[in-house]
Amino acid sequence: MADVRIESDSLGKVEVPSDKLWGAQTQRALNLFAIGRDRMPPEMIEAYAVLKKACALANNEAGKLRDGTTKLIVDACNEILEGQHDAMFPLPVWISGSGTQFNMNVNEVIANRCSQMTGHDLGSKQPVHPNDHVNQSQSTNDNFPSAMYMAAAIGVTRKLIPAAKQFAASLASHANNWQTIVKIGRTHMQDATPLTLGQEFSGYAGLIDQNVTRLETALADVYALPLGGTAVGTGINTHPDFDKDAVGHIAQLTGLPFTTADNKFTVQGSHDALVQLSGCLKTLAGSLYKIACDIRLLACGPRAGLGELILPANEPGSSIMPGKVNPTQCEALTMVAMQAMANDQAVTLGGSGGILEMNTYKPLMIHNIMQSIRTLSDAMNSFREHLLDGLNADNERIRELLNRSLMLVTALNPAIGYENAAKIALHAHRSGSTLKEAALELELVTEEEFDRIVVPEKMVEPHR
């Protein structure tokens, strides 16, 4: 058995592994909540380290925390932010719905590291106490949701939006390069009138641009933190300016426009800002699913499908069929998109679970939100790097399918009317002839008229 030390909390003594910085409450949680393999999102470690640092600075400025104590807490937080103590945060997602054990995990690690830095025994709570000093002017009920909002905002701004913008830029590049490639459009999975491949891809780029705008709009509410509300939103055990001072430090430390929430009761009793953000993640997932499926469909083949797009041949696609190349990046992105859509359902259910002054589904919510942010970002980067940037058009195949389409007859509508144009299309389809041959056989237009009117390149934009 590993060496242990004895730590205590308000319920008594607990054995803690001697080489760990966590304390009694963290160890109790490990013993009581051995549920699954999902750990608390690592982004919450960074968010909490910033938050605890900011609170220590605010308490110091108010004269509530001595300079030496403040410096120790700040130094310990800086080490956490550098990733030095990641292994000291072992708790699973599935703990108290308030996240109390994780807050205390952070408090205990910081306090014990302060003890270590000053030559005191681990667990001595000297010279820094996890509750009295590290958690001063706070409650889990206001600092855990604040850390959730921070983690989500940091993840969206630093990881998700940049990935989405790069994804959109790659789509836009194709849209620009392929503006002159005229192809057949499709609606209801059937032939429709022509458009350019560039126009088609401009639609995809526009989808992602719209999603970026939605995310940026949703962040406005996420930036409003409940920190300073303490237990139920009243701010008990804080000084009057603590919320503004602490959140001001958070904004400075992160470079993001965090503010103190105008109504702490609103943002502690429920977390609609995160539900809204999750909805934006779901919408982005839906857009990515559509784009990946479209590209997979347009690239299907290479000889027995549409085959208009040529995917990069990244890897062998089959263990039995030689030479097969599969749309694996499309499959990975669509699976991630489905998971993000499912995650949103969990966030929505968790967000509805606020009872009176507190929501007790916080870990569930932030677990799913951060998984969506992380995987959507990674999947977009992977798809862009390994598929989108190397995607090519098969011009010969595109021209072949365009010239075979019966829907080019739509251009004749203004000249001969819908009914006569339909007769040409049906005759061509039944007889196996071309549109031109069918039109001339039916004597509905002259050859000169057909050649002048039925020009695919002229059918991709309005004309007088």
Catalytic residue among 8, 318, 352, 431, which?
A: 318
Compute the distance between CA of residue 170 and CA of residue 270 in angstroms, rounded to an integer.
38
Q: Which residues are annotated as a binding site?
A: 98-100, 129-132, 139-141, 187, 319, 324-326
Cβ(124)–Cβ(14) below 8 Å? no
Backbone angles phi, psi at 350, to 5 degrees: -65, -40
Is 367 one of the annotated active-site residues of the chain?
Answer: no
What is the DSSP secondary structure assignment for residue 160, as one 8-state letter? Answer: I
Q: Which residues contact 419 (CB under 8 A, 6 or more apart)?
A: none
Q: Establish whether the linkage from the previous residue to 316 is cis, with ω within 30° of 0.
A: no
Q: What is the DSSP string of 76-104?
A: HHHHHHTTTTGGG---BS-S-TT-HHHHH
Cβ(164)–Cβ(216) below 8 Å? no
Compute the distance between CA of residue 78 and CA of residue 74 in angstroms, rounded to an integer.
6
Joined together, the tokens standing for residue 126 give 């000297």
Joined together, the tokens standing for residue 214 give 């939605």
Burial of 44 (0-12, 13-18, 19+ CB in 10 A): buried
Tokens 């937080």 locate to 77
Is 18 one of the annotated active-site residues of the chain?
Answer: no
Q: Which residues contact 180 (CB under 8 A, 6 or more apart)?
A: 196, 198
What is the DSSP secondary structure assignment for residue 41, as one 8-state letter? Answer: P
Q: Which residues are annotated as a binding site for substrate?
A: 98-100, 129-132, 139-141, 187, 319, 324-326
SS (H, E, C) 370-438: HHHHHHHHHHHHHHHHHCHHHCEECHHHHHHHHHHCHHHHHHHHHHHCHHHHHHHHHHHHHHCCCHHHH
Q: Which regions of 358-444 does DSSP assign to beta strands (E)?
A: 358-359, 392-393
Compute the distance between CA of residue 413 and CA of residue 453 in angstroms, rounded to an integer.
10
Residues annotated as catalytic are: 188, 318
